[in-house]
Structure 1
Amino acid sequence: MRAAYATAADDDQPLRALAVGEVPEPTPPDGWVTVEVRAASLNHHDLWSLRGVGLPGDRLPMVLGCDAAGVDPDGNEVVVYPVVADKADPRGYSLFSERHPGTLAERMAVPRENLIAKPAGLSFLDAACLPTAWLTAYHMLTTRGRVDEGTAVLVQGAGGGVATAAVALALALGKRVYATSRDPDKRAKIAELGAVAVEPGMRLPERVDVVIESVGAPTFDHSMKCAAPGARIVVCGATGGHLATVDLRRLFAMQLELLGSTMGTRAELVALLDLCVAKEIRPLIDSTYGFTAVTDAFAHLASGEVFGKVAVDLLH
């Protein structure tokens, strides 16, 4: 069967570690089933895997991809929850493409408990964009950030999958949303969504109750300064640098909560799917590639010129 997979680790030029070709059919263990993948989406996690982060050489070659929607052996349309319980991992779990072959293949083995019924109102492509970036944003806003207790949200570095998802979801939940981007074109797109688009570091007209932080060092001081008393600063990544300076005086004087966050639960993915249907929210898809052009999809993601998700249609 066709698949996109990592053959090596290349920190300088990760796309050189990417291969597209034939791989063996999946062999599901007890409690697992084979899913026919209809659509998938890319994440920066895939690029990190090609760099060798979290994917040591003894697990290569490894089929890439965390996100998928498809059809189970009974003909049901399903969304794949990407988190697999894993006692061997210090986190207690792993994602598809870390220890188990991922979603960028015509077929994949999945624990039956990881299958969620795809709502009829969502296409395979839409559904395939939700399980990682959008679930991460939903978990950050609702569970970690307790956004229901506040009225205003700041999203740093809007443009990428998690940040744009956070903007769309916070707006759907009725919050005032501010979002930063260095790119004026991306700021214009943010404004079209209904958020207030600002340049990084710009003073806001109010302090916010929740900050969604995935950039790290370049924006972290701004995140601290924009936080209202008792605000939650929720961090899911550090794409711009992980060694941020924290002003401890501001942290304790303003009684801020600094929270790490990663992924979300199966129940939260179900709730996210329900919210998307109820509020008629659809993921922001930057571009869609047929499987024959999956190498181009990776190159586009790596370029940084992306607003939303990069999707892959496995039927083309």
Structure 2
Amino acid sequence: MRAAYASSLQPDVPLSGLTVGDLPFSAPDGWVPVEVRASSLNQHDIWSLRGVGLPADRLPMILGCDAAGVTPDGDPVLVHPVVLDPADPRGYSLLSERHPGTLADQVAAPPENLIPIPAGVTFAEAACLPTAWLTAYHMLVTRGRAAEAGAVLVQGAGGGVATAAVAIGVALGKRVYATSRDQWKRDRVAELGAVAVEPGARLPERVDVVIESVGEPTFSHSLKCAAPGARIVVCGATGGHLAQVDLRRVFAMQLEILGSSMGTPHELAELLEMCAAGRIRPVIDSTFPFTAVADAFTRLNSGDVFGKVVIEH
């Protein structure tokens, strides 16, 4: 079958380790094969090509965490990419880490990882959700307790998780502020219903939840913008992981700093229902046919994306 896979690990030039070619399909006992109709890319794929979380002894490894497709019974499903894994320190792994990923004609997953796609949601829209949008939903709703919040700050809008957090926060009826270094991204954020601000800018109010995926460059600003008792939810550190934290502000304002990663099948089903009801619409930066998957990786790696890069199979 056709597949896009890591054939070598290249920390400095990750795309040079990407190969598009034929690999055999295999599935563990009890897992369900899914004919992939659409998939989407994540920064996780770039990090895998760099060798982060993917050792050389697992190569070749089919990349990709996100996929929507059809079961052998003809049912449209979305694949939840989190697999229980006692051998991993996290207790789980993602498709493309220990098991083949989604950037192929077929992917296999445990039956409990297959979520029915409701009517009105396209394969391309569904394929945007399992990693970035699910991470943002889990950060806001579960870890950040957005139901108790009035205002939310999203740092570094433009990337997949941050853009999803803006859209979900607006859909939940929150006052959403979002930062970006680029004016064109701030303009796009404003179109989604957020108040766009420059990095480090003073907000009109303190916020109850901060969505933090940038790290070192923005974390001080996140602390300063937090209201008493606020939750600062962290899912990444794309700008650097050695952020300085003023502990005096943490205890004086009784702040919570919470780590967050991915989400549950139930939360993914809730996201799909929000899509079906028209409350949210996944933000798609660009769409490529599978024959141009290498161009899709180049687009993602450029850093000029706003939303998800989708592959149609």
Q: TM-score range by the shorter chain?
A: over 0.9
Q: CA deviation at 1:29?
A: 2.3
How far the C-alpha of 1:59 sits from its partner, in A, is 0.3
Cα distance, 1:254 vs. partner?
0.2
- Bigger mean CA offset, 280-289 vs 236-245: 280-289
User: In the TM superposition, what is the alpha-carbon distance from 1:22 to its structure 2 partner?
Assistant: 0.5
Matched, 1:287 2:273: no
Partners of 1:128 and 1:55 lie apart in 2 by 23
How do residues 118-133 of structure 1 correspond to structure 2 at under 5 angstroms? 118-133=117-132
Provide runs of 4+ in structure 1 moved above 4 Å: none
C-alpha distance in structure 2 between counterparts of 1:25 and 1:259, whole Å:
39
Once residues 116 and 167 of structure 1 are traced to their aligned partners in structure 2, the CA distance between those partners, rounded to angstroms, is 24
Question: 1:170 — aligned with what?
Answer: 169
Counterpart residue identity of residue 194, structure 1: G
| Deviation per residue, 1:254-301 (Å, 9 max, x gap) | 000000000001111111111222244210000000001100100110
- Alignment correspondent of 1:206: 205
In structure 1, runs of 5+ residues without a counterpart are none
Q: Which amino acid aligns with 2:191?
A: E
Q: Which amino acid aligns with 2:141?
A: T
1:181-219 deviation digits (Å, cap 9, x = unpaired): 000000000111110000000000000000000000000
Q: How does 1:1-316 map to 2 (within 5 A)?
A: 1-26=1-26, 28-314=27-313
For the Cα contact (< 8 Å) 2:64–2:102, is it kept in 1? yes
Task: Look up the equivalent residue of 1:249 and give its one-letter code.
Answer: R
C-alpha deviation, 1:108, in angstroms:
1.2
Distance 1:270 1:25 in 2: 27
Distance (whole Å) between structure 1 residues aligned to residue 28 and residue 210 of structure 2: 41
Deviates most, 276-285 or 207-216: 276-285
Inter-partner Cα distance in structure 1 for 2:234 and 2:132:
13
Q: Over residues 49-68 of structure 1, what are the superposed CA-to-partner deviations in whole Å (9 max), with x where a residue is unaligned?
A: 00000000110000000000
CA contact (8 A) 2:171 2:279 kept: no
In 1, Cα distance between the equivalents of 2:185 and 2:268? 27
Shift of 1:178: 0.2
Compute the RMSD of aligned alpha carbons.
Answer: 0.6
1:162 Cα shift? Answer: 0.2
The DSSP-based 3-state class of the residue aligned with 1:268 is helix
**So what's the TM-score if we normalise by structure 2?**
0.99
Number of aligned pairs? 313
Identity %: 74
Shift of 1:115: 0.6
- The answer to which of 282-291 and 106-115 deviates more is 106-115
User: Does the 8 Å contact 1:136/1:162 carry over to 2?
Assistant: yes
1:39 Cα offset (Å): 0.2
- Checking the alignment, whether the CA contact within 8 Å between 1:7 and 1:17 is kept in structure 2 is yes
Partner-residue secondary structure (3-state), 1:218: coil
Looking at structure 2, the residues matched to 194 and 280 of structure 1 have their Cα atoms a distance apart, in angstroms, of 13
Separation in structure 1 between the aligned mates of residue 276 and residue 222 of structure 2, nearest angstrom: 32
Which residue type is aligned with residue 259 of structure 2? G
Residues in 2 aligned to 1:108 and 1:172: alpha-carbon distance in whole angstroms: 32
* Aligned-partner residue type, residue 33 of structure 2: T
Check conservation: 2:40, 2:66, Cα contact below 8 A.
Answer: yes
CA-to-aligned-CA distance 1:199-250 (integer Å, 9 cap, x gap): 0000000000000000000000000000000000000000000000000000
Structure 2: tracts of 5 or more residues without a match: none
**Conservation of the 8 A alpha-carbon contact between 2:14 and 2:46:** yes
Equivalent residue letter for 1:22: D
Q: Does the 8 Å CA contact 1:172/1:279 hold for their aligned counterparts?
A: no
CA deviations 1:89-128 (Å, max 9, x no partner) are: 1111000000000000001111111111011110000000
